[in-house]
Amino acid sequence: MKFRGSVLLLGSILFLAAAFAQTSGSDELPSAPSAVRQERSKPKPAPPAKVEAQASTPSQTTPPAETPAAKSGTPQATPSTQEKIGQGSSGSDDVTTTITKTVNEVNVVFTVTDRHGRYVKNLGRGDFSVLDDSKPAGQIRSFHSETDLPLQVGLMVDASNSVRDRFKFEQESAIEFLNQTVRPRYDKAFVVGFDVTPEVTQDFTDNTEALSRGVRALRPGGGTAMYDALYFACRDKLLKEPRNGPVRRAIILLSDGDDNMSHVTREEAIEMALRAEVIVYSISTNITGGARHSGDKVLERIADATGGRAFFPFQLNDVADAFVEIQDELRSQYALSYNPSDLRTDGRYHTIEILAQNHKGLRVRSRRGYYAPTQ
């Protein structure tokens, strides 16, 4: 009996000690799952930080999100500005209120020629009207004769086996173009060669000697992934290049137009060029004495959709002449911005048509459309 009493006494002591230890150390033990859920569900107090408010006028919308059709890129119809409108007294309760204004503007660079193909450079704002989805634009906000804007130029050279025979001459013509076009401390250019994959042999620079080395570093290779290369040049180079004010973005594409290795489609590559506000000038490397090659139609489609031109040299020496014409056109353009009359944030493609009025026989060439922002 004494032994049983001792055992009961010892058990009681151990039970009391364990209960005391659990109570004193409860803060160090992991919480039960239900406690974690309850703790996470408690609302957190909002700190006195910036408060953003969206303006609600018809010409202001929320910043655009990416459309499913584009793997990357920024719609170009929605530049936004931020303005601080008030600040509280000094101390821990300071609150800065920021209003984000998003104005839907469409920027278009275009070229005007007469019936003989000569550039017309002396027109004014009143000589043009704009149709957006076949409807008159709501307001033309700005108009400029852009003969001297900084250039951001990408030179894309097809380095596949199909152009090996004339590769050297094309390189020298491209070098001459860059030497005549890129102005130090003003313009920038980069060089991309492509076969199966694009290769940047010279990144953005205003140094024409470095650009020349980049062109000479190109080497003919295997298959052709032209759409992938164009998509890359627009998305990863031109769209991401900073710009301090208005610039003109252009790509000069030397290729035979035959694509057999790309992952993106031709229309996806065109869409990315439109989002990056890039004009594409294509120079066919199919020197066939006047007969059109199947790839020439592809080059023509890309140039036409982006507001550029497609060149089809009859012989090898004509490649240099094409570069000269592109250089002249880049210095003979207009630019305007306008507000569409009924722009909805639906990510939809909208057509653009610029009409020259008050003058007969004039032809306006610009990109064919743009993509609206999305909510």
Mean pLDDT, rounded, for 24-42: 36
pLDDT in tens, 335-375: 899 988 877 788 889 999 999 988 889 999 999 999 888 76
Question: Residue 80 in contact with residue 63, Cβ under 8 Å?
Answer: yes
**How is residue 235 annotated by DSSP?**
I
Question: Between 129 and 42, whose confidence is greater?
Answer: 129
pLDDT in tens, 290-342: 567 789 999 999 999 999 999 998 887 888 899 999 999 988 899 899 988 87
Mean pLDDT, rounded, for 7-12: 53
Question: Residue 99 in contact with residue 82, Cβ under 8 Å?
Answer: yes
Q: Which amino acid is at 300?
A: E
Tokens in use for 106?
A: 């469409």
Question: Between 355 and 10, whose confidence is greater?
Answer: 355
Mean pLDDT, rounded, for 131-138: 90
Tokens in use for 92?
A: 């821990």
Residue 85 has a pLDDT of 34
Residue 17 pLDDT more than 60?
A: no
Q: How many CB atoms lie within 10 A of CB 189?
A: 25
Residue 250 pLDDT more than 80?
A: yes
Q: Name the percent of the chain lying above pLDDT 70.
A: 70
pTM above 0.75, yes or no: no
Question: Between 68 and 169, whose confidence is greater?
Answer: 169
282 strand-pairing partners: 253, 310
Question: Residue 310 in contact with residue 304, Cβ under 8 Å?
Answer: yes
Three-state DSSP class for residue 98: strand
